Amino acid sequence: MTREVAFDGGFLQVVVDDGKEIVVHGPAVAIVAVDRDETVTLVRQARPAVGTHVLELPAGGIEPGEEPLAAARRELREETGLHGGEWNEASAFFTTPGFCDERMHVFVATGVEPGDASPEDGEDLELVRVRVRDLPMLLPEIEDAKTLVGLLTYLRERGGG
């Protein structure tokens, strides 16, 4: 069987494999970042695919040859300025396995410290800080799957969900 590239957009490809269209996106990371004040930092950003701003965990793609943890540290610092702390990989899952190969690695970073953000050109991010104790009340408003997985995993691990 051969894989034929039907579309190559740089950010993603669509290939046809045995008659099935597959979106080739590559792996990504998302981070539940908890500071010393027991506050989680989320980002709100425009998502043209759904036509609105979405509240999400800081996240981004893993560069070729980059380890997931290194990508998570890089993305968190770029998007929020947060750095340091203790890190562990809480989960990894396929985001939409029916048609896409993207595998998301979710990390929990505790005790992170503030710093200067350096978002990529075109990234317009609003930082939203939420007290850990308020996360359960926020969950019904979250529409992003990686954010739900990350927050629910974090709450379960700390005994609050």
Catalytic residue positions? 123
- Is the distance from CB of 7 to CB of 14 less than 8 angstroms? yes
CA within 13 Å, CB half, 86: 3
Q: How far lies 54's CA from each of 46, 58, 101, 103, 138, in Å?
A: 6, 11, 22, 20, 13
Q: Looking at beta carbons, which pairs linking 70-73 to residues 24 or more positions away fall under 8 Å?
A: 71/28, 71/29, 71/105, 72/29, 72/30, 72/31, 72/105, 72/107, 72/109
Q: Is 95 helix (H, G, I), strand (E, B) or coil?
A: coil
- Is the distance from CB of 135 to CB of 111 less than 8 angstroms? no
